[in-house]
Amino acid sequence: MEILFYHPTFDVRDWAPLLQRHLPDARLRAWQPGDDEPAEYALVWHPPYEMLRGRTDLNAIFVLGAGVDSLLSRLDAHPDLLPAGVPLYRMEDTGMAAQMQEYAVSQVLHWFRRFDDYARLQQEACWQPLEEYRHADFTIGVLGAGVLGGQVAQRLSAWGFPVRCWSRSRKAYPGIASFAGAGELPEFLQGTRVLINLLPNTPDTVGIINASLLASLADDAFVMNLARGAHLVEADLLLAIERGNVKGAMLDVFHKEPLPSESPLWRHPRVRITPHVAAVTRPDEAAAFIAQSITRIARGDMPQNQVDVTRGY
């Protein structure tokens, strides 16, 4: 079984033995310019246009990450980037959900226990116990209720917070209020104290976290962006913080990455930054997931994580 591999930072030599552990007859080869030898599958992240163009011999393409927008966003310029009739699959979990849960829970508790306020008091050498927040007043709203968003919402609900989610279609998570569609977004935002973004990056969601949305949140709201930088209008967030509508933000993703050193986000006292590490692809778990998916494809049982190219996820 011939499998093409392309990733700008991952080494194919690390991935080959992991995949062969589950698929002994798999031969993983790194794609190089001019490689037009047949292959049955391709594992990619930010692949060159020349790699996939015309490869109708492939049974499937797997994107080595939770998001597929980096690939689909190039279709306007290169409509033939994806070979016709070849299904595209994304990583559905592979350890990312647990990482997202850890990140979101740790930061929500940081805000809920007012550690950000105590850090500022420490800088002033000020010993001042603060009034506690109440769970009932700390409603958490999760934008995006797919595999990652749904698990983050459920984990936070277990901590006793009121949790709600918003997505394109209604979900049924126990104990979590579900809102769906543009018409229900205002109701979702009303009373939301902590907004966590885990939306897919599609034309409909670009710039969704803007001045209007931020103004609709509860007073002294907090914003956490774990999805894509394109979702957030960064200037609107800074203005909302300056006006006092938003108390703080935790940002893992940005319009331009790495975040330029001149960005005011770096130096803002109420903004915390991490370098797109909320959930990373773990080769061991990803290889097992891909091998399972290939096995299902081989027996004609198509995996559920196929990407709808028209919807963008």
Q: How far is CA 143 from CA 106, 198, 288, in A?
A: 18, 6, 29
Catalytic residue among 276, 282, 296, 311: 276
Listed residue (260, 264, 200, 193) closest to 224, CA to CA? 193
> Taking the mean position of all CA atoms in its chain, how far away is CA 155?
16
Which region holds residue 13: left if phi is over 0, alpha if psi is between -120 and 50, else beta? alpha
**Could you give phi then psi for residue 60, rounded to 5 degrees?**
-170, 155
**Which tokens hold the place of 206?**
């670009």
Rounded Cα distance between 293 and 22, Å, is: 11
How far from each other are the two terminal CA atoms of the chain, in whole angstroms?
Answer: 27
Sequence-ordered list of residues with C-beta below 8 angstroms from that of 62, at least 6 positions apart, any chain: 41, 42, 43, 44, 89, 90, 91, 290, 293
Sequence-ordered list of residues with C-beta below 8 angstroms from that of 167, at least 6 positions apart, any chain: 143, 144, 145, 146, 149, 178, 179, 180, 199
Listed residue (230, 186, 184, 223) closest to 207, CA to CA? 230
> Cis peptide leading into 269, omega within 30 of 0?
no
Catalytic residue among 7, 90, 228, 231: 228
Whether 276 is catalytic: yes
Rounded Cα distance between 213 and 217, Å, is: 7
Whether 228 is catalytic: yes
CB 111 within 8 Å of CB 85: no
- Known catalytic residues are 228, 276
